[in-house]
């Protein structure tokens, strides 16, 4: 579906991602806004694992509504409030992505829109036509 680009002339990816992911010409694109850990009833999940689960469940639902799956994700941008939350977040993300290796960006930032948010994740998905 996508062509990965991980040249031998540079350091291999340091995690479950690809340095480059080529999208076939004519693919349908879906930009998913930054997803936060808000539950359907307005409450905010507590703890990094619960918040990560909510965020990825929301992403999965948006992809499904567009007729896509997590295998269509080509880019993931993750914003964490605490570096120490990275391993727990990565475990949850791995459950949703499985063996799929999109391009990724991970940042630790000082604050998010709501003080209770521990993370926000946005993705770009593509579906070859």
Confidence of residue 129 (pLDDT cuts 50, 70, 90): confident
What residue segments make up the domains of the chain, in order of their start? 28-127
What is the predicted pLDDT for the residue at 121?
Answer: 98
Nearest to 44, CA basis, from 55, 33, 59, 34: 55
Give the model confidence (pLDDT) of 65-117 as tens digits: 999 999 999 999 999 999 999 999 999 999 999 999 999 999 999 999 999 99
When the pLDDT of each residue in the chain is averaged and rounded to a whole number, the result is 96
Q: Domain 28-127: state its class.
A: alpha beta
In DSSP notation, the chain reads --EEE--TTSPPPSSSS-SEEEPPTT-EEEEEEEE--B-TTS-B--SHHHHHHHHHHHHHHHHHHTT--GGGEEEEEEEES-GGGHHHHHHHHHHHHTT---EEEEEE-S--SSTT--EEEEEEEEE--
């Amino acid at each position: 579906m996508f062509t990965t680009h991980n040249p031998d002339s540079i350091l291999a990816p340091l995690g479950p991602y690809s340095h480059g992911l080529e999208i076939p010409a004519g693919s349908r694109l879906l930009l998913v806004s930054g997803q936060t850990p808000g539950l359907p009833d307005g409450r905010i999940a507590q703890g990094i694992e619960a918040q990560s689960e909510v965020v990825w469940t929301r992403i999965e639902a948006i992809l499904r509504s567009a007729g896509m799956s997590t295998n269509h994700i080509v880019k993931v941008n993750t914003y964490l409030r605490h570096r120490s939350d990275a391993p727990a977040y990565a475990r949850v993300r791995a459950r949703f992505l499985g063996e799929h290796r999109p391009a990724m960006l991970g940042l630790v930032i000082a604050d998010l829109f709501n003080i209770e948010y521990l993370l926000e994740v946005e993705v770009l998905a593509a579906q070859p036509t």
